[in-house]
Amino acid sequence: MELDLQELRKTSDERLLEAPGQPLGVTEIIDNKERASKLFQKGLAAYEKKDYRTALREWKLAAEQGHATAQYNLGFMYGNGLGVPKNYVYAYMWDNIAASQGDKDATKARDLLAKEMTRPQIAEAQKLASECVKKKYKGCGRPKQ
């Protein structure tokens, strides 16, 4: 079933996490925000050209910087099988992470996905989301083959 989700949003409030062991200074926060924003825009440009693999790669990098809209967009990509095999567990995981940062569209998408998933799939997605947050978004979203 194709998900009936809103068009991918082009703007976002960004939330950046502290670096492990030390808080980020203002300069580093600005640099990280700018880097995440540039990655997000590159992903959006690729998506608009239907270059889904590139969009996925760029949004993954932005998501690792804590970019909530990139995380939501990864959920959209996994949920619709764009650039990756369709995977509701990973779609739910990314939407749950973005929703935890206050992204309302991600909350709606996650809830739509839950209607198509089994309880064990939802539990797995929630576990993966929790692990991902603990890892500061690094190495997340790689389905086991």
pLDDT digits (tens, 9 = 90+) for 80-128: 999 999 999 999 999 999 999 999 999 999 999 999 999 999 999 999 9
List the domains of the chain with CATH numbers: 26-134 (1.25.40.10)
Q: What is the DSSP letter of 82?
A: S
Burial of 43 (0-12, 13-18, 19+ CB in 10 A): buried
Cα torsion 106, 15, 97, 73 to 10°: value is 50
The average confidence (pLDDT) of the chain is 81
Q: What is the mean pLDDT of residues 22-31?
A: 48
Say if CB 95 and CB 113 are below 8 A apart.
yes
Say if CB 60 and CB 48 are below 8 A apart.
no
Of 3-12, 17-26, 58-67, 106-115, the least confident = 3-12
Distances in whole angstroms, Cα of residue 118 to Cα of each of 1, 39, 69, 115, 139: 15, 34, 26, 8, 25
- The number of residues in the chain equals 145
Give the per-residue pLDDT at 37.
Answer: 87
Supply the pTM of this predicted model.
Answer: 0.77
Give the per-residue pLDDT at 20.
Answer: 42
